[in-house]
Structure 1
């Protein structure tokens, strides 16, 4: 199955999600949050900067938990 290309709206939504997660990280380093979430620092940075506009649900939940943010606050549409 071939995945259809992302729309501009999909990419913009990914940028907003990343900005929210980056803001929620606050003073914590990317290394601290990535470690707490069980993901690589590079993956966290890519999500925070919109280079992974559609991260998996479980990755988003892991990051949200690591920054102590309720997942429902991440609903960006």
Structure 2
């Protein structure tokens, strides 16, 4: 199975998600947050650096919960700016 290349918008959204998670993590270590969310530190590292721009929904939900973020906040802050898709 060949994976369809991501669009620039999808990559940008993944980068915004990574920045948001990194900011929310603050001084906590990747290992601490990853363990709290039940994911590997490498998965969190890939998401934060944009190397995994489309992580699974439940991975994002677990990380949001571990960081005290709501899914609504994640969507609001990671969605493209109004008019950017036009």
Map 1:23-42 to 2 at 5 A.
23-42=23-42
Rounded to whole Å, the distance in 2 between the matches of 1:35 and 1:13 is 24
Question: How many residue pairs are counted as aligned between the two chains?
Answer: 77
Distance apart, 1:2 and its partner CA: 3.7
The normalised TM-score by structure 1 is 0.94
SS at match of 2:3: coil
Aligned counterparts, 1:56-71, within 5 A: 56-71=56-71
Root mean square deviation of aligned Cα: 1.0
- Could you tell me which runs of 5 or more consecutive residues in structure 1 were left unpaired when the two chains were aligned: none
TM-score, normalised relative to structure 2: 0.85
